[in-house]
Amino acid sequence: MFKDDELDRLAAERDRLFALLKTARDERKRQGQICTKLHDDLDAAFKTQQSIYQSGQVAWDEHHKFMQECSQHIQFFHSEADRYHGQMTEAFTQSQRCWSYGDKNP
C-alpha cells in the first residue's frame, strides 16, 4: 500500500511539474512573440527615422546649395556696385574739373 501511495504522489508531483513546465514554455513563447513585435516596431521606427534623416539631409544640401548661389550673386552685385561707384566717383570728379576749369557760361 505504501508503495502505491508513494508512486501516486510522485506521479501527481510529476504531472504538476510538467504542468508548470508547460506554463513556463507557453509564457516563454508569449514573451518571445512580444519581443518579436517590439523588435519589428523598433525596426520600423528606426527605418522611419533614417528616412526622415535622409529627407532632412537632402533639404539641408539643397538649402546649402541655394545659400552658396545667393552668396555668389551677392558677391557679384557687390563688386558691380563697387565698380559703378568707382565710375560714378570718377565721373563726378571729371565734372568738378570741367566746372572748375571749363567754360561756365550756360
Q: How many CA atoms lie within 13 A of 46 on its CB side?
A: 6
Is residue 17 situated within a structural domain? yes
Q: What is the pLDDT of residues 65-82, one digit of tens each?
A: 999 999 999 999 999 999
Q: Above 70 in pLDDT, residue 103? A: no
Across the range 95-101, mean pLDDT stands at 86
Q: Is the pLDDT of residue 32 over 70?
A: yes
Tell me whether residue 34 is in a domain.
yes
pTM of the model: 0.53
The boundaries of the domain holding residue 34 are: 1-71
pLDDT of 105 over the 70 cut: no
67 in any annotated domain: yes
Write down the pLDDT at residue 100. Answer: 85
CA–CA gap between residue 85 and residue 20 (Å, rounded): 94
Do the domain assignments include residue 104?
Answer: no
